[in-house]
Amino acid sequence: MDVDVVLGDARDQVMSESYAALERSHPVHYEAFGEETTRRCLASLFELVVAGIHDRELASIVRYSEKVATERFEAGFDIGEVQTAYNALEEAMWRHLIQVVPQAELAEAIGLLSTVLGAGKDALARTYVSLASQRHVPSLDLSALFEGTVS
C-alpha cells in the first residue's frame, strides 16, 4: 500500500483533525495568525511529509523545519507551540493510517511517517535551541532542573 497515496486521499480529513487538535491547545501565536494562515502552515507541512514519504527524501522537510524554527523564534513563539502543531498533524496522520492500512503493513507505514516527521521535528528543535542559546529564552531555562544537585 502506498502510504503517500493513503495520506493524500485523506488530506481534508487530516487537515481538519490536526487544526482542531491544535486549536484545542489554544496556542497564543497561532491564534494570532488566524485560522486561514494556521491551516496553510499545517497544509505546507502535510504536503512535505507526503512528498518525503513518496520520494523517500528528508532534505525538504529538514530545510522547511529549520526555516519554520527561525521564523517562529523571531516572531516570539514558544517552541512548545510549534511542536504542538507538528504533533497535531502527526497524530491525525497516525489515526488515519491505523484506520486504513492493513495490520500487516502498518509497521512500515507508521515507520515511514515517523521517519519523515521525526526528521522535521529534530531539525525544528535543533534550530530553535541553537537560536535560543544565543539569548535567554524563559521556555528553555533548564536551570531549575539542576537546582539542589550535588556535585
Q: Alpha-carbon distance 134 to 5, whole Å?
A: 41
DSSP 54-99: HHT--HHHHHHHHHHHHHHHHTT--HHHHHHHHHHHHHHHHHHHHH
Which fold does the domain 3-134 belong to in CATH?
Globin-like (1.10.490)
Domain positions in the chain: 3-134
pLDDT tens across the length of the chain (151 residues): 899 999 999 999 999 999 999 899 888 888 888 889 989 999 999 999 999 999 999 999 999 999 999 999 999 888 999 999 999 999 999 999 999 999 999 999 999 999 999 999 999 999 999 998 887 555 555 555 556 555 5
Residue 64 C-beta-side C-alpha neighbours within 13 Å: 23
pTM: 0.84
Q: Are 83 and 124 in contact (CB under 8 A)?
A: yes
- DSSP secondary-structure letter at 27? -
Amino acid 1: pLDDT: 80
Grid coordinates representing 30 are: 497561532
Give the residue among 50, 53, 52, 33 at the shortest CA–CA distance from 41.
33
pLDDT of residue 72: 92
DSSP 8-class letter at 101: S
